[in-house]
Every structure is written in C-alpha cells, then in structure tokens.
Structure 1
Amino acid sequence: MTAAALARFGGRTALLTAAASGIGEATAHRLALEGASVVVTDVDAEAAHRVAEDIRASIRSPSPGPTCTGAGLMRLEGVGAGADDGRAEGEPLSTS
C-alpha cells in the first residue's frame, strides 16, 4: 500500500456503528490503517473495547488511536454518546 493510501483518511474521524464484529470491525481496522481516528460503537461494550485495543495494537499512528463506546446508535441517546466520543478525539466527525 502506498503512503498516500495510508494517509487517505488522515485528519478525519470516523464513527462506526456495529463495529465490534464482522463488516463493521473490518471497516474500523481499514479506516484506522488509512489514517482515520476511529470511534468504535456497538451495543456490546466489551467487544467494542476489544476491537479498539486490537486496532491500537496493530496500527502505529501519531494519533491517540481509536476510542470506543458501548452505546448503540439505534437510540437517540446513543447517537449523542457516540458523537461526544468522536469529538473527544479533537477532530470533527467526517460526513463524507
């Protein structure tokens, strides 16, 4: 992978839902590999933390690494918690 590809999402924060397994987990890993700060969300808080730790261990980056929340984003209060976690990274959430 080229350096440009590794930095494609640098400076962006991605909030991923259902990111504790399957496609969500794979997407979280890939976005982190390509430079994004990742907010891992899932209704299974323990699994979300495990994914965040796995990403921290596999991606060496100057950013603090992924954050995670156990909040599910299917309820309004979960959306707010996930967005707050993303903003805690110090970067705006990306919408594109």
Structure 2
Amino acid sequence: MAFAVLLLSPDLSALGYLQNVKVGSVFYNLFHTYTIPAVIILCGFLMENSFPLMIGLIWIAHIGMDRMFGFGSSLILWITSIIIWLIGRKKLKLANNAR
C-alpha cells in the first residue's frame, strides 16, 4: 500500500495546473526529472540510511513508468502551445491589417 502511494505521489505536482499552465508545467517538470531523486539517493548512501534510498528509487521508478507510457515533459507541450498561440495571433493581426 505504501509503495503504491509513494509511486503515485509525484503526480500531485500536477495540482499546479489549478493555478495556471505555467505554474503547472514548472511543478510537473520539477518533480518529473531525475535530479531530485538522484540527490535523495545520494543522501541516502552518504547517511547510510535506507529510507531516502527507498524514496529516491520509487520516485525514479515513477518517472520511468511515465516515460514508458508516453507521458513526457509538459515543458514541450507548454512551449508548443505558446508557439501555436503566437502563430495564430500573428495570422489574426495580418488578417485584420488586410481589411
């Protein structure tokens, strides 16, 4: 039971999307990179404590499962949506100037 809770807990970072897309993307990407769990694992080794080691390994397993199922970084989706918005805005401006 605890394993399942810990395995899914990084997805709580998606709550940032309740604020807006930018905050959601920042939180999601922060919790879905290998940097933080790698530091936690290193701390577990240095402190000779298995608890941080367990947390870090479960976190890495979560990230790996997300990647396996095709859930990549939301930063790419965010940048893509901004580019599409900018292109659409430019086309609308050009259409309004043509009138």
Q: As a proportion of its length, which structure holds more helix?
A: 2
Q: As a proportion of its length, which structure holds more strand?
A: 1
Task: Return the index of the structure with the highest Cα Rg.
Answer: 2
TM surpasses 0.5: no
Q: TM-score, normalised by structure 2?
A: 0.27
Identify the structure with bigger relative contact order (alpha carbons < 8 Å, sequence gap 6+). Answer: 1
Q: TM-score, normalised by structure 1?
A: 0.28
